[in-house]
Structure 1
Amino acid sequence: MSSYLFSLGRFSFRHKWWVIGAWVAALAILAGLIAGLNPKFSKDFELPGTDGGVAMEQMEQHFSELTKSQTEANTLVLIATDKNNPSDKLANHVDAINKLVADLQGLPEVADKSTIVNPVLAAKAMPAMAGKVLGDDGRVGLITVHQKLNVMDLKPKDKEALTEVLDKHRGNGLQVEATLGVMQAQEEAGKAEMIGFAIAFVVMIVAFGAIVAAFIPLITGIVGVGLTMMLLMVSSKFMTVNQTATAIVTMLGIAVSIDYALFIVTRYRTERARGGDPADAAGRAVGTAGSAVVFAGLTVIVAVAALMVIGIPLITQMGLGAAIAVAVAVLAGLTLIPALLGATGKYAFSPKIPWIRHAEESATGDTLGVKYGRAIVKRPIPFIVGGLAILAVAAIPMSHMQLGMDTVSDDEVAGQQLLKRGFGEGTGAELFVVVHTEQGTVTAAANTAVAQIQKMDKNVVNPALLTWIGNGKDAKNPNVDANTALILVTPTSAASSEATHQLVEDIRALSPQIEAKGGEIHVGGQTAIMADLTAKLDKALIPYLLVVVGLAFLIMIGVFRSLWVPLIGTLGFIFSVLATFGATVWFFQDGSLGLIDHTKPLLSFLPIFLIGVVFGLAMDYQVFLVTRMREEYIHGMTAKDAIIAGYRHGARVVTSAAIIMISVFSAFMLAPDTMAKMMGFSMAIAIFFDAFIIRMTVVPAVIALLGDRAWGLPKWLDKVVVNFDIEGEAVRDRGLQPAAA
């Protein structure tokens, strides 16, 4: 394979303007298709094959207006008096509350102003319903604001319009907060990426010691991610592509593009120093480093594409989109990078920055990487024990890890606390119980469902008031001749709590009794769907881990032609992932060191997300560092000298790539939301643990301990495994013979 890649790299270098033109043309064609087709990303979240998904399908079919209202922003505004002053009630603040109501009615896209009312006056007008709008003995009030804004289209300005009203009416004995609805609008994306790009540029200047070379990986990353996003947008015209799925495309596309570019450009500089024609140097760089890039990319593609085994459309789209991004990054590394190197010519590594030491490789210089490698080779056991001990200690908090889908933002916490104080944690987390029959009317089945749910009184708010509404044609009597019933159940516990999840399952367990009445029962709504999502992710975690690790292990056997090296790399990844979970639990679930203000369980999708993305990046670093060790070993170096040579040529690029990724992910911790901080922290700490402790320390130390045994296959397996020549032996000296003569 290296011979083909050599030819491709040399061709791209020599025909640089044609290659660059082809990439520009591809971008232009896709931009034209987007302009002509006007495709749109989907914003609907579906969970087919689950009970919650069935419930929502039946709601959409039989209660379409209600279903539509659930897709629009329903914000809960809470008002309260000082809890330390029991004698002060909201009835003493009627005028102030009326002014608040008037401003809330003036918000954009309010569906029906008449539904936004003073809870004190509403309680007096309808005493039977007072408990729904006044709580804590009249000291906490609830106002629901329904705006015709799709929850998937909410913008920061929608949230700002509401918060300005809340700020205006706080004080004078009143606390005014809000939760759900427009309070869940997300900040515009891009800030973290821009910070990450800025840091990446600085790190690459240090890595190359030159300005022009530092731009090449950035250009490749921007072109690669841009092309992938355009491909996904065009495909959304013909198939469903959720906008949420594009986040991982941007994150991973930037990461691998920069990684691959760093590796190939660094190898090109090494080959240029060896002499010969620059086009041949580009060919050798692509034939050697490019081979490693191909297999590193293949490993990442396997890791993210395997997300399909989970069976959730959104996550499947994430995996496929990320796989396309990685494939484009590999193609850019093999063609666009040598073309850009050809275009910049002798100026690629200029202007040089003189005060940056060791920017260029030296066969004799003792860099920090070389010194570290020598120390590991000399005494590998302390490094193995020390590295694994650090990870083991970091993993300890994982023993009490909790998973959930708590999507409450930090700005909503005060509102949630007032909601809990006045009306219970489950308010706003309602369950939509759907009872349906194909055999006449649903009356008997619906009455049975209501009666049975009322018996779950410890977990249901106001069970005696439970009732059902049908889909009958008579608007005044919808329960007459109805074949579908809807029961709104408010749990006493929070949406993400185990008690609420158990309530969902208890209601679903009524299925035999409902079937005896000729009907079927399903539980839907956001709370139930999130519970289903958590359960589905929990079940998929182990199969996904086995698929990813198993396939990647087989690929690495072919890459390294060894059993020990893939085994060490895979086991090391497990250590780093467990340590990542433990550290994330310690900071975000336990609230240690005060890093966050509001603790919460780890997001249910975080383990699978981490395994997919971090495993891919970890194998990148494994391939980049260890393939050079193997390359030097098979060309005559001793096992220990080959390890040191691997550090000489690979430590700087792996360190630079890891620092860039840590910086990019850490930038997300600057976001005000705990969820974004959790994602950024977990990704950054995972890269730190895996790149520096496992790939740069433990793996080379174990290889040093094994010596020659690390590099070999059993004879029977050696005959079966194809020799991919990832070290580029066939092209190692191509183009140098004339110079030598």
Structure 2
Amino acid sequence: MSAESPAAQRKRPRAVLIATLLVLLASAVYGAGALNVFTLSRFESPGAEAGLAADALLAEFGTGAANVVLFVTATDSDVDSVASAAAGTALTAELAAHPGVAEARSYWTDGSPTLRGDDGTTALVLAHVPGDATEVRAGILPGLTEAFDRDGPALTVAVGGADQLFREAAELARGDFLLAEAIVLPGLLLLLLLLYRRTVAALLTIGIGLLSVLSTLALLRIVANFAEVSTFAANLTLVMGIGLAVDYCLFVITRFREETAAGKSIEDAVSAARAKAGRTVLFSAGTVAVSLSVLLLFPFPFLQSFAYAGIFVPVTAALGAVVVLPAALRLWGHRVTRTPKRSTEDGRWHRLVTAVMRRPVLTGGLALVVVLLLASPFLGVRFGLPDERALPADAPARVVTEQMNAAYPAEETDALQIVTTTAGPGADVAAYAIALSTVDGVAQVDSAAGRFVAGNRVADGDPARAKGAATWLSVVPTAERLDRDGTGLVAEVRAVAAPFAVLVGGYPAELTDFRDAMLDRLPLVLLLILIATFLILFLMTGSVLIPVKATVLNLLSLSVMFGALVWVFQDGNLAEAIGFTPQGSFEPSIPILMFCVAYGLSMDYEVFLLSRIKEEWDRTGDNTAAVARGIQRSAPLVTMAAAILALTFAVYATGDVVFLQMLGVGMALAVLVDATLIRGVLMPAAMRLTGRANWWAPGPLRRLHARVGLRD
């Protein structure tokens, strides 16, 4: 027992709780404005060729790739009529004069056939709005949309373009965040009441979750003063903040109840729970934080934002569980305790695991077959570029884009922009343009030397495309080639020999450079995740084999998630039930993000199970008994925690943005499969087959663990 007086023992936790309340209130006030300072991101790779081309094009010619489009329909069904032409020319001039617009052009000012719809009833007005994604989407597009989305006597106008698509996606994601808050918290409270059968325990757990979410939002707002933080980071903060806080509180409260059931006083039970469960919580938080911190290695603010959230969330949730929760239990622990109904030595999980270990080859083999079968669709994965189908079918920007796709076989809005500052007055621009126009999938090439189609000059050039030694060309792709192989088209255009140094940019090139830079860093990121989690588990267990098996099991769990994503979102199964349009491919940054999140959460459950198994092993030295008893003591908790975490993720499956739907469905499935099939069957089967070798390490590593390993 503590030597402190009862009054002193009560005073200290009250001080902790008062300080926590002040932090919570400050975080709520400061974090409430976080969504207003978070930024929007583009698929850009800093320093890549496409970015350099955009900078040069803006500096030399005051223009750039068309990121805003006006889809114009003639009320008299003829864009070439006198009334339509006059109104279209005036509309183009009006758009060019709108605040923030650097340059605008249209079918009526350029005469380009790719800006006229096939049936002659529609035409396009293209504009370049310079600035970062937040400036364009949040600062300019709302006013521009209000000004130009209209029905006039001669023309009907709708606003579209790449930035408009992502602006609407961000607004829908914000709505999904607020809806998720409204659904998750009441549902979670109900589940916790059913689980704990104690109101105080449920409210404390919810409180720690809110503390994690609000303090993380406040910390992210601080980071936003120095770096870009994506608005989508708030969505991850909500689900992980609530989910991890529930995991950690469940673990601490369950251990506290076990200690009180064993006859310990409230004070001693709190101390024991914090010492034993708290250590596990810190290990878990470390694995999650490490798994997501590697996203900082990608040079993209979008992914780095999730790294910030992925570090802050487990840290704040762990602090809440090992500092704030014990203080609350010291004051109100008598309202949390509950006597177990039965012995923890002969429960359902103990019987299941014992049966698995009795025939480990058979049970483990069958489970492995099921896992590989569920994962098999991933063998057909295809990576591609994102498009308008990421939005709901009735989203205005998607409707405009689909109308354009139907009426325009050439993708003028996705033209590749080629710029050079070294052409000189005698450079053979025409020969270069001719060569570009013969590339498979190129509809036309516009240059100062002329407009070229399939190697033939079909119109005069635009003298505004040449300025001293600088010139620029637009390579307009066909919609079919862009859909089929946009990255291949970019590579072929860049491979065309030029008589001068060129930079190739435009939206397809930006996406290609983004993908290439991401894939270049991916091996290093994966290697660091594996090394870091291996070291954490080694410090925890002193074993070499257990971290290796944990890694293999985690990868099997993730393979199920990716198999389901391919089957559902790429191939379109369950599309009507969930409410999305399959794209037939994946934009690679989302699977990478999901890999890091799911890997960290899988290790979270691995740590929970291993902590109890290691405790039993240290006590008995019997590997089979340690596995059965350790899983019996932790598996019910892990399963309930997984169900709650899956619920918080699954809420996003009802959202409107396909990226968030993928996150919701994929993560919910990964968590449930990991906590049941992987940890309930494959893990005990593997540990039974390897026996005492589970706890082996070479002599030097045993001595290292004796010095630096973390133990009770």
Give TM-score, length-normalised by structure 2: 0.82
Determine the C-alpha separation between the residues in 2 that align with 1:422 and 1:698: 54
Name the structure 2 match of 1:613: 597
Q: In structure 1, what is the Cα distance between the partners aligned to 2:23 and 2:384?
A: 42
For each residue in 1:142-199, what CA deviation from the matched residue of structure 2 results, as whole angstroms up to 9, or x when unmatched? 4669999954328999899799969x99xxxx99996645344131232124323333
Q: Call closer, same or farther: CA 1:628–1:593 in 2, change over 3 Å.
A: same
Kindly indicate whether residue 507 of structure 2 is the aligned counterpart of residue 526 of structure 1. Answer: yes
Give the gaps of 5 or more residues in structure 2.
Answer: 452-461
* d(CA) in 2 for partners of 1:442, 1:719: 70
Aligned partner letter, 2:45: L
Q: How does 1:119-138 map to 2 (within 5 A)?
A: 129=111, 131-138=113-120
Relative distance call for 1:713 and 1:443 in structure 2 (3 A) is same
Structure 1 residues 489-542: Cα deviation after superposition (integer angstroms, max 9, x where no partner): 3211369646322232233335x734xx4xx32222333211111122223333
Distance 1:647 1:259, change over 3 A: same
Deviation at 1:575, TM superposition (A): 1.5
Match for 2:476 among 490, 493, 505?
A: 490
Superposition deviation, residue 420 in structure 1: 2.8
2:498 counterpart SS class: helix
Q: Deviations over 1:653-705 (max 9, x none)?
A: 10111111211111111113333222222222222232222122211221123
Q: Give the AA of the match of 2:117.
A: G
1:222 equivalent among 202, 207, 210: 210
One of 260, 269, 274 as aligned partner of 1:281: 269
CA distance in 1, matches of 2:142, 2:502: 40
Q: d(CA) in 1 for partners of 2:81 and 2:665?
A: 46
Structure 1 counterpart of 2:701, from 699, 703, 717: 717
Instruction: State how 1:479-558 maps to structure 2 within 5 Å.
Output: 481-493=467-479, 497=483, 499-510=485-496, 513-514=498-499, 517=500, 520-558=501-539
Q: Partner residue of 1:599?
A: 582
**3-state SS, counterpart of residue 513 of structure 1:** coil
Q: What is the CA deviation profile of residues 204-239 of structure 1, one whole-angstrom value per residue up to 9, with x for unaligned ones?
A: 223222222112222112112211221221233344
Aligned residue in 1 for 2:454:
none
Q: Distance in 2 between matches of 1:656 and 1:482?
A: 69
Q: How does 1:181-192 map to 2 (within 5 A)?
A: 181-184=163-166, 185=168, 186-187=171-172, 188=174, 189-192=177-180
Inter-CA distance 635–95: structure 2 relative to 1 (3 Å threshold): farther
Structure-2 separation of matches of 1:130 and 1:37: 45
| Pairing 1:200–2:188 present | yes
Q: How many angstroms does 1:320 deviate by? A: 3.5
Change (3 A) 1:393 1:565: same
Identical counterparts, % of pairs: 23
In the other structure, the counterpart of 1:625 is 609
Q: Which amino acid aligns with 2:663?
A: M
Partner of residue 56, structure 2: 58
SS of corresponding position for 1:66? coil
Deviations 1:30-63 (A, max 9, x none): 6788899999444454521311222233344444
Quote the offset at 1:12 in angstroms: 9.3
**Is residue 2:98 matched to residue 1:111?**
yes
Residue 370, structure 1, aligned to residue 370, structure 2:
no
Counterpart in the other structure of 1:432: 417
CA contact (8 A) 1:225 1:325 kept: yes
Residue correspondence of structure 1 range 37-436 to structure 2 within 5 A: 40-43=37-40, 45=42, 46-63=44-61, 65-66=62-63, 74-77=68-71, 90-91=77-78, 111=98, 129=111, 131-138=113-120, 141-142=123-124, 150-153=135-138, 180-184=162-166, 185=168, 186-187=171-172, 188=174, 189-349=177-337, 360=340, 362-363=342-343, 366-408=346-388, 409-410=391-392, 411=395, 415-424=400-409, 426-436=411-421
Partner of 1:737: none
Coordinate RMSD, CA, aligned? 4.5
Contact residue 419 and residue 427 of structure 1 kept, 8 A: no
Q: 1:682 pairs with 666, 670, 676, which one? A: 666
C-alpha deviation, 1:417, in angstroms: 4.0
CA distance in 1, matches of 2:34, 2:78: 57
Partner of 2:632: 648
Equivalent residues of 1:77, 1:142 under 8 A apart: yes
Q: In the alignment, which of 12, 17, 22 is matched to residue 20 of structure 1? A: 17
Alpha-carbon shift at residue 580 of structure 1 (Å): 1.8
CA distance in 2, matches of 1:405, 1:14: 59
Q: Distance in 1 between matches of 2:367 and 2:482?
A: 36
Change beyond 3 A, Cα 1:78–1:589: farther
For 1:459 and 1:142, locate their aligned partners in 2 and report how far apart those are by CA, in whole Å: 21
- Distance apart, 1:584 and its partner CA: 0.9
* One-letter identity of the residue aligned with 1:420: N
In structure 2, how many angstroms separate the alpha carbons of the residues matched to 1:95 and 1:656?
70
Question: How far apart in 1 are the matches of 2:252 and 2:210?
Answer: 17
Amino acid at match of 1:509: A
Distance 1:424 1:574 in 2: 43
Give the distance between the partners of 1:681 and 1:562, measured in 2 at CA: 34
Distance 1:74 1:391, change over 3 A: same
* AA matched with 2:668: A
The 2-side partners of 1:387 and 1:162 are apart by 60
Give the drift of 1:648: 2.8
Deviations 1:91-129 (A, max 9, x none): 49999999x999x99x999939x9999x9xx97x77x72
1:299–1:555 contact (8 Å) kept in structure 2: yes
Q: CA deviation at 1:361?
A: 6.2
CA distance in 1, matches of 2:643, 2:25: 33
Distance 2:182 2:32 in 1: 26
Q: Judge conservation of contact 1:80–1:139 (CA < 8 Å) in 2.
A: yes
> C-alpha offsets along residues 601-620 of structure 1, whole Å, 9 cap, x if unaligned?
12211232122111110011
Contact 1:614 1:683 in 2 (8 A): yes
Amino acid at match of 1:482: G
Tell me which residue corresponds to 1:572.
553
For residue 481 of structure 1, report the CA deviation from its aligned partner.
Answer: 4.9
2:457 alignment counterpart:
none
Q: Structure 1 residues 664, 109: closer, same or farther in 2, change over 3 A?
A: farther
> What is the DSSP-based 3-state SS (H/G/I as helix, E as strand, rest coil) of the residue aligned with 1:190?
helix
Q: Deviations over 1:430-486 (max 9, x none)?
A: 22322224xxx74455826852553335322223677699xxxxxx97566535433
Q: Which AA in structure 2 matches 1:274?
A: A
Q: Output the CA distance in 2 between the equivalents of 1:162 and 1:209.
A: 57
Q: Do the aligned residues in 2 keep the contact of 1:435 with 1:445 (CA within 8 Å)?
A: no
Which region of structure 1 is more displaced relative to structure 2, 373-382 or 15-24? Answer: 373-382
Cα distance between partner residues in 2 of 1:589 and 1:201 = 35
